[in-house]
Structure 1
Amino acid sequence: MNFFQVSSILSPSAWLDLDALDANIALVNQQIQNKKLRIASKSIRSVDVLQYIAQQSPNFVGVMSYDALESQFLIQNGFSDVLCAYPQINKQAVLACEKTVLEYQKHGYMQGKEIKMTWMVDSLEQWQLLEDVGQSLNKTLRICIDVNMSSKFPAVYFGTQRSSITSAKKLKYLLKKYRKSVNTQVVGVMGYEAQIAGLAELAKGKESLAPIIRLLKIRSKKHVAKLRQDCVKVLQTIKPDVEFVNGGGSGSMQWTCSQPEVTEISVGSAYYMPGYFDGMDSMQGFTPAAGFVLPITRKPYNNIVTCHSGGFVASGAMGKDKQPVIIYPQGLEYLSDEGFGEVQTPIKIKKSQPLKIGHNIWLRHAKAGELCEHFNELFVFRDSKQIDTFKTYRGQGKCFH
């Protein structure tokens, strides 16, 4: 998008470039090869955008959600296959979602499609809650088991501290415990290699770690491939008709889709191409497609302008790589002693730049979907002209956490 050509835009606001989004969708479709596609909703957080991507993705099968009530919301908005990828312990929320599944299935709201609502577990406690919900509704709930794909090297834990299932042996133990479950059935397994898919080699402020990260990724791929294959074998001995093996995500598409045991891949951040992914080797072909714009409301000095709003810093380990990225005008810098502020953000400019009160500064969020938590809508552009407005979750009155 040519920001210079944008005649006017209400700011502060969030924007979506459809030309860039279309290019990213096409690249994802190319890279996932023959694997099925599951869109990660946490990286999108807009029903309008989810539907737009799904319509242009031939291999689309469903959505990967992050919360029980969000899952219910997605079903109510027409998505018939939802995998809630994070264990849920809010029994009432799970119950509400499953009641919606029953209601929509009974009345045929999905135009004859079967509604597949799948829940993630990695422990007996999580599984028992789902078993209890299934019993109370007299139905069988769908289960997916999350396997921890992290790699342990001497003096280095390379990965995330999430699932307790760290080996095929532990998976087998969990499956045996619930082999005779009445109100739940295992339909899939997820092996998400976060340390490969979501860790940038050249993150801002951490560039010196790039050679080490690249080496660890190479070694970790061998571990991930074997562990995931071993877990699939264990699952198939107990559950031969397993429906799917999920892997991902955006930063490891080509490698993950080359793995024979994987049947579907989850992709989210690749569509918006947020700032953090600028430092990821595998994402260099993608185009920034979403961000936000701030108005200049003050000019305290010739080399400083102050914008209204701006403090949209990304989650995760704090650092420069979690700060927003200024993209236009070029050559601007935020002040390290103030950063991006709660309601105003000072920006350092060159004295030669003719920026004044009323002008706009265009930025990108370091992460993808978190952008949408701050705005009710996305101003949609094509050919640098606004053509539409898409609602975010927030714009529909939803905030799931």
Structure 2
Amino acid sequence: MTLTQLNGPVRTPWVDLLAATEHLDPPFAVLDVAAVRTNAHQLVRRAAGKPIRVASKSIRVRSVIRDALELPGMAGILAFTLPEALWLAEEHEDVVVGYPTTHRAALRRLAEDAELASRVTLMVDSADHLDLIAGIVGTASSSAPRIRICLELDVSLRLAGGRVHLGARRSPVRTPEEAAALARTVAAHPRFALVGLMGYEGQIAGVGDNQPGLRRFAVREVQRRSAAELAERRAAAVAAVRSVAPLEFVNGGGTGSLELTAAEPAVTEVAAGSGLFAPRLFDFYTRFRPQPAAYFVLSVVRRPSPHHATVLGGGWIASGAAGKDRLPTPVWPPDLSLVDQEGAGEVQTPLVGPRVDELGLGDHVWFRHTKAGELCEHVDEIVLVEGDRIIDVVPTYRGEGKTFL
């Protein structure tokens, strides 16, 4: 698969997708290559010149990550565990671990390998993290490589004097003063090199501002206030940290906030991955409209009544607060829906709808997952379709024997 060829907007070609895959036995996962390509170029346009660090958590397919990084405008990987980062760094030169690690064996391997240490950057948000890492890897010697460190800044929105917290609960480092103090601790340690600062504004990037109902107006107001507050505070934090040490990068954003985050002068790069697959989560934004690209397919195995068709499997639930918005959505044939009393089940999922009587045993039903990367934790391989043919079948992380988290 190549993403470097620029295509115009496309609509999901159901006739082609069905023709290409009708001989396959479910469950299987599909990537619409033309849609992935369109989405990749849309991400680059939205980043407006800021390089995009590819978020591997949202992809979990090495060949797709590799192809994305060949596209001008994308550079570096944002990994989700240190063992994964070490694995990817065998091929790629710039891998930032997006979350703190306490993995002792992986830390020792990083500290003992100068090449890996030059390619991998750890995430830290407290002096305790530094102490833990130093305790595992030992004191520095003249030949020991320095471990690259990125600080994470809390970029959530807090209202009512801090009593209301909107955003992910990640780093305890919130103010420029706190960021500078932690930067001084890193800079003073002979084992570490401070190279980056990161902040993920999940309350903007991960929450659609065009959801059905009146809630979208509240979301828009929250995001407007958050973006304004964050641009000022992040700039001050970056300046405070740069007064301690030069930074190679300042990372921010996600698929849902690329244009907003990229517009901040203090940010040098943005992160995105989900936007390639365009799961259901990203159907509800006013700022962009990606093409659905990732699907999973199940087969009808029961007709418990004239009004129900039941597929085998289906409980591919997205992470986050439990609710209907985390369930997969049947998208083909059209006009199907889950049954409220059962939802999506581990081994079977009943469906209803005005066209359910057209389904027979063995028929395929196509679903979209709510979030991106978790799809590939359910399958060993993913089928790449372009036009009406399968152009490749590639392994997921799981298919390569890797289950990092």
> How far apart in 1 are the matches of 2:140 and 2:191?
9
**1:363 partnered with 2:377:** no
Answer whether contact 1:250 1:267 (CA < 8 A) is retained: yes
The one-letter code matched in structure 2 to 1:358 is G
> How far apart in 2 are the matches of 1:51 and 1:149?
30
2:388 corresponds to which of 380, 384, 389: 384
Alpha-carbon deviation of 1:175? 2.2
The one-letter code matched in structure 2 to 1:243 is E
**1:328 partnered with 2:332:** yes
Aligned to 1:375: 379
2:150 partner SS: strand
User: Aligned runs of 1:2-401 on 2, under 5 Å?
Assistant: 2-5=13-16, 6-7=18-19, 8=22, 9-55=24-70, 57-76=71-90, 78-99=91-112, 101-102=113-114, 104=115, 115-132=118-135, 133=137, 135=139, 138-154=144-160, 156-203=164-211, 207-239=213-245, 241-284=246-289, 286-350=290-354, 353-401=357-405
> How far apart in 1 are the matches of 2:380 and 2:62?
12
> How far apart in 1 are the matches of 2:309 and 2:397?
32
The one-letter code matched in structure 2 to 1:35 is K
> How far apart in 2 are the matches of 1:382 and 1:250?
24
2:43 partner SS: helix
Alpha-carbon deviation of 1:134? 6.4
Structure 2 unaligned blocks of 5 or more: 1-11
Alpha-carbon deviation of 1:280? 2.5
Q: TM-score, normalised to structure 2's length?
A: 0.91
Greater Cα shift, 153-162 or 20-29: 153-162
- Deviating above 6 A after TM superposition, structure 1's stretches of 4 or more consecutive aligned residues are none
Answer whether contact 1:130 1:141 (CA < 8 A) is retained: no
Q: For residues 152 and 71 of structure 1, do their structure 2 counterparts lie closer, same or farther at Cα, with a shift above 3 Å needed?
A: same
Q: For residues 351 and 372 of structure 1, do their structure 2 counterparts lie closer, same or farther at Cα, with a shift above 3 Å needed?
A: closer
Answer whether contact 2:155 2:200 (CA < 8 A) is retained: yes
The one-letter code matched in structure 1 to 2:387 is D
Answer whether contact 1:228 1:261 (CA < 8 A) is retained: yes
Alpha-carbon deviation of 1:98? 4.3
Task: Determine what percentage of the aligned residue pairs are the same residue.
Answer: 33
Alpha-carbon deviation of 1:283? 3.5
**How many residues align structurally?**
385
Q: TM-score, normalised to structure 1's length?
A: 0.92
> How far apart in 2 are the matches of 1:202 and 1:266?
22
The one-letter code matched in structure 2 to 1:142 is R
Structure 1 unaligned blocks of 5 or more: 106-113
The one-letter code matched in structure 2 to 1:74 is L
